[in-house]
Amino acid sequence: MRTVILDLDGTLADTSADLIAAANSCFLRLGHGAILDPAGDALTAFHGGRAMLRLGFSRLGEWSEADVDVEYPHLLAAYEAEIDRNTRLYPGAVEAVGMLKAEGFAVGICTNKPEGLAELLLTRLGVRDLFGSLVGADTLPVRKPDPAPYFAAVERAGGIVARSMLVGDTDTDRKTAKAAGVPVALVTFGPEGEGVARMSPEALLKHFDELPALAARLLGDD
């Protein structure tokens, strides 16, 4: 079965504001201000909690990975508490997934967000049932760009890796697709915009309306 696997943060949904708020809660807890900017630091947000903490600490001066390790659990707790306050699915995402399924594609998610948080967010957004699989950062012993989580997402959705593709937004997704030997479409509606073209993906996705036709082109007819 042809299969489309989507990344979550920055691809299916704009989660940046809630992620940045969770990171800033750590710096506020430490007596600093809101170090990170929801707009200017959105790209870092899509690289994960630790990346946001590193960026914030780097702006404060001397720091170590131990500081990141201490604050990371606080970030996760803050994020879970307000996980869907500002997060929104990108326009056309639900319709595109529905059309893919109607055309016989399997659809799943492979994310570097912890699985429990991903489950919670998708449930709160009312779309968990649209996806045949969900593999998170801690579902397996490894995470993207290792291809194993991608393989698991395809197989759990009922698909075949040889007839699958990944939709993502960062270099991590590009590297994952290369390691898995599958095509990748990178979205241009995230913080990098058209800049993702520098990664030479097999396709650029400018709007979710284009996804069904793009998937058919890259994966062929059933």
Q: What superfamily in CATH does domain 3-14+87-219 come from? A: HAD superfamily/HAD-like (3.40.50.1000)
Q: What angle do CA 69, 176, 117 make, to 5 degrees?
A: 45
162-219: pLDDT as tens digits: 999 999 999 999 999 999 999 999 999 988 899 999 999 999 999 999 999 999 999 9
Which pTM does this prediction carry? Answer: 0.94
106-152: pLDDT as tens digits: 999 999 999 999 999 999 999 999 999 999 999 999 999 999 999 99
46 touches 170 (CB < 8 A): yes
Active-site residue flag, 7: yes
Could you tell me the residue ranges of all domains in the chain?
A: 3-14+87-219, 16-81
